[in-house]
Amino acid sequence: MDWIGQIHGMFQMLYATHARTGEPYGAALPSTSLADLDQATAQASTAFEVWQASDAATRAHLLQGLATALESERDTLVTTADAETGLGMARLNGELDRTAFQLRRFAQLVTAGAAFAHVDDPAVPGLPPAGHPALMRVRVPLGPVAMFAASNFPFAFSVLGGDTASALAAGCTVVVKAHNGHLHTSRLVFALIQTVLTAQGLPAGVVQMVQAEGFEIGVALIQHPRIAAGAFTGSTRGGLALQQAARERVRPIPFYGELGSINPVLATPTALALGGEALAQTLAASIALGCGQFCTNPGLLVLQRSPESVAFVQALVTALQAQQPHVMLTAGMRHAFDAGLVAQLQAGARALLHEPVADRAPRPALLEVDADPFLRHAVLRDEVFGPSSLIVWYDDTAQGHQVLHAVGGALTVTLWGMSEDTPAHRAWVRTAASVAGRVLFAGVPTGVAVSAGQQHGGPWPSSTAPFSTSVGDAALDRFLRPVAYQDAPAWLSACQGQPC
Ligand code: NAP
């Protein structure tokens, strides 16, 4: 394809929407043309020559500078993000804190040598297989990364979110496809990145950004010959489309998609008898948190038919009725929430709590279904993005395991009531671990700690790359490729995994 010659959409403008009123928000913004996209990837590619060879101190300095800049622009950023997303000042301030924390954590990791870890395997004299040449296994950054932001985290999974932080720490440059749900927030964050890059004497191409209506720009980005990897956070459908586009390239590239998930919560009757009202309150708050717009939202409750479970469900309905979800991120998501609940009802689910309203803020919903129809109808395993959950009733343990296996893949499975070491509990843990990237034994799945032991990404359909994580220290590993240096010259071995 002739990238340079294409200037479709050059004069298009983008218009943001106020999440609470649905009215236009802020000034019109220019849309990225395919020619602009080509220019952005060219800058990212040129900058990669510099950035891949940067030392730990340079990378840490940039990441720390970005964290400080984010905090210094807090008021403007949070106010703008609140208008564009309706997520509320408290949540957005907390998310900005988390985003700055992530940047500083990757600064610490790179300073500690995480990107430069290597295996030094000296020569062994003699014939193979015991004898071998000197080998040093190092890791090199992949190249410019295409990064796709999600709507529901305008900071933490957006322009300067975890994907960008970990890619920069690894020595990759980044071209962000901004989300159309928070256009102005993205532009402000991009502007502050450019200010920091200039102040630190780094090329503008270390981070570039594109913004446009429609999917053409995203597909063009992931298929651009200069792009070496993709990192995506968003819906399963969007992730699948972009993964496909990445595979269809002349030279396919790694694609790390963090997608939607229904996050089963399984609770034994004993746990419910002990936890009762408190568990119902905690779960209701988690279902309604952020208007249910979390990839870790507990969208499925797997319960054994028992008096304790029935009492718990009654308490949960009451606790959910007291929740007051705020507006949803976009009108499209609001519509999709209603449509998702209707699809569940049409597939045989019964409503325990379902109060359709015309408002931009929905009411929480709780539906129930027996295990048999759940196992038969795939639509009941689809994510309904919003403040709702579906109870699946099972009669015997074998059926409960079948229900979890039918989910296929999830970011999390929560198991309440496994404190004793019994064969039955071990079996639940095995099933849960076969389905999810994170298995919880207490609390609720919303809230993902940014730390060394974190795993955020499970089997399909929750992720396209279940062997990697997009949250936590190991996120860095996605952007590094192993290389073995055999019989390397002394100067190269002396680099000890540092860029040469
Ligand atoms: P989305 O609609 O999939 O959008 C994500 C990005 O992909 C946007 O930039 C979007 O462009 C682009 N896109 C979507 N479909 C595409 C296609 N067919 N071709 C090319 N580009 C495409 O997701 P979202 O609405 O922002 O986020 C909500 C979803 O993300 C939920 O399912 C939630 O569970 C999931 N999520 C997952 C995680 C995680 O860590 N696993 C975290 C947060 C959210 P536009 O800007 O033009 O729409």
CATH number at 305 reads 3.40.309.10
Packing angle, helices 162-170 and 56-72, rounded to 10: 160
pLDDT in tens, 65-108: 999 999 999 999 999 999 999 999 999 999 999 999 999 999 99
Contact between 24 and 18 (Cβ < 8 Å):
yes
- Whether residues 183 and 282 share a domain: the answer is no
Element (H, E) at 247: helix 236-247
> Measured from the CB, is residue 153 less than 6 Å from ligand 1?
yes
pLDDT in tens, 336-369: 999 999 999 999 999 999 999 999 999 999 999 9
Q: Tell me, what's the pLDDT at 276?
A: 80
Q: Decide if 457 is inside a domain.
A: no
- Whether residues 287 and 365 share a domain: the answer is yes
Task: Clarify whether 213 is annotated catalytic.
Answer: no
- Whether residues 45 and 156 share a domain: the answer is yes
- Whether residues 276 and 204 share a domain: the answer is no
CA distance 40 to 215: 17
Percent of the chain with pLDDT over 90: 97
Among residues 84, 258, 368, 383, the one annotated as catalytic is 258
pLDDT in tens, 170-219: 999 999 999 999 999 999 999 999 999 999 999 999 999 999 999 999 99
- Whether residues 163 and 273 share a domain: the answer is no
Q: Ligand 1 center to residue 228 CA distance, Å? A: 20
- Whether residues 376 and 390 share a domain: the answer is yes
- Whether residues 99 and 58 share a domain: the answer is yes
Q: Decide if 450 is inside a domain.
A: no
- Whether residues 228 and 317 share a domain: the answer is no
**What's the average model confidence in pLDDT over 129-140?**
98
461 has pLDDT over 50? yes
CATH number at 95 reads 3.40.605.10
Tell the residue nearest (CA) to atom 40 of ligand 1. 258
Residue with tokens 């102005």, as numbered in its chain: 184
> Measured from the CB, is residue 180 less than 6 Å from ligand 1?
yes
> Measured from the CB, is residue 389 less than 6 Å from ligand 1?
no
**Confidence label for 12 from pLDDT (cuts 50, 70 and 90):** confident
Q: For 458, what's the count of Cα atoms within 13 Å in the CB-facing half-sphere?
A: 24
> Measured from the CB, is residue 409 less than 6 Å from ligand 1?
no
What is the tally of structural domains in the chain? Answer: 2
Element (H, E) at 232: strand 229-233
Best mutation site among 14, 158, 179, 237 for ligand 1, i.e. most ligand atoms within 8 A of its Cβ? 179
**Confidence label for 11 from pLDDT (cuts 50, 70 and 90):** low
Q: Which atom of ligand 1 is nearest to the CA of 234?
A: 30
pLDDT in tens, 158-177: 999 999 999 999 999 999 99
Task: Clarify whether 258 is annotated catalytic.
Answer: yes
Among residues 95, 172, 291, 295, the one annotated as catalytic is 295
Q: Decide if 3 is inside a domain.
A: no
- Whether residues 250 and 297 share a domain: the answer is no
* Domain range for 290: 264-440
- Whether residues 272 and 234 share a domain: the answer is no
CA distance 278 to 453: 28
> Measured from the CB, is residue 177 less than 6 Å from ligand 1?
yes
* Domain limit, last residue, from 396, 425, 440: 440
- Whether residues 244 and 295 share a domain: the answer is no
Q: Decide if 454 is inside a domain.
A: no
